[in-house]
Structure 1
Amino acid sequence: MREIVLDTETTGLDPNGGHRIVEIGCVELINRLPTGQVFHVYINPERDIPEDALRVHGITSEFLADKPRFAEIAEDFLAFIAGDPLIIHNAAFDIGFLNAELQRLKHPPLPMERSIDTVQIARKRFPGAQASLDALCRRFEIDLSGRDLHGALLDCRLLAEVYLELHGGRQPGLELARERAQAVVAAVPAAERRRREPRPHAPSETELAAHARLLEKLKEPLWRQ
């Protein structure tokens, strides 16, 4: 099962107000575990970086001046995410920005239904509790020491750990146990597998008599209604 943890950093909060993406991070998961394959790129937004955004992620216009524009990385980005589910913290925000960028290039939008929103998962699992990425990392004792500022790839890696914990953590999976059992069965030659007759489960006459005596001691037993 391939899934992609995705995060973006932007120049602001509203793609319809002219704000753009400045960073995209993606982490590949197979069966909810990171494979080490990532997609990470800084993007020249072709506009200034407001102070409010700079305080969040620390990415300056000077740093982005020689970085590629979204049009230059779009095909590589779409190839990496392919058609797999997207794990996103507050999916409406990131999908909204990505679709605004794709619309400029006449690309089909990313459907919201292919996203899995970890904010919604956390709110269902922990009603009334904070559902920010920081709060969930603290809840699951995930190391936040390197997160002074937001960063798309760092946040993806943290979210990958949170996503795993939201589904039970690093426990031996039933699928792994099933595969091991199948391997053991497959290793035994067919000639050595002896068929056994099913054990009888019907009660004996002695057991039926003992049950009848027990019912005599009970007041209005259900078995007689």
Structure 2
Amino acid sequence: MSRLRITEIFYSLQGESSTIGKPTLFVRLTGCPLRCVWCDTEYAFTGGAYREIADLIKEIESFNPQNICITGGEPLAQKEPCEELMRILCDKGYSVSIETSGAIDVSGVDKRVTKVMDLKAPDSGELAKNRYENLAFLNKTDEVKFVIMSRKDYDWAKMQMDQYQLADKTNVIFSPCFGEINERELAEWIIADNLPVRFQLQMHKLLWDDAAGH
């Protein structure tokens, strides 16, 4: 089997996406080719330790989880072994999701995996990294997430929704950038425009103040 560079494995509550609040085992892979200005996991850019997938599976099984989230960093930066790990976990009957930046091809991700994929808005600093071809590989069980830092980001996100008919294809999340935008203001914009999106606060930051391991 292959190996993966791992920053941490921890059991917590899912703080984002449609499974928010559910007990979830997180497998955080090391490394990311992006440098979003609001990134909250810079500690996963470097370091970590290489682990054989067989050993990872044993540790994962020791938690007896129902839900597993593969995250980063950018987990698909370690594309082939990451996809292999997810296939094995799906074969074992786990509910598996991946949090990905949208900058790397997702076509090889097992169809049983829920893809939670970003589209990077202008104020992220990584607008040019969006891989719009990935939208063709999303379905009704997947999610597109926009981190909104400003009114400019909000208006841009609305344009993407219209251009790509996102609400007809998949679930759409608007998440306020923590500490950078008034959450209530974003909520009121969504209500005023009657957008078919899910407004999302990052629950783990409210509970644990963004501490690692949560």
TM-score (normalised: structure 1): 0.29
Q: Report the structure number with the largest CA radius of gyration.
A: 1
TM-score (normalised: structure 2): 0.30
Q: Which has the larger helix fraction?
A: 1
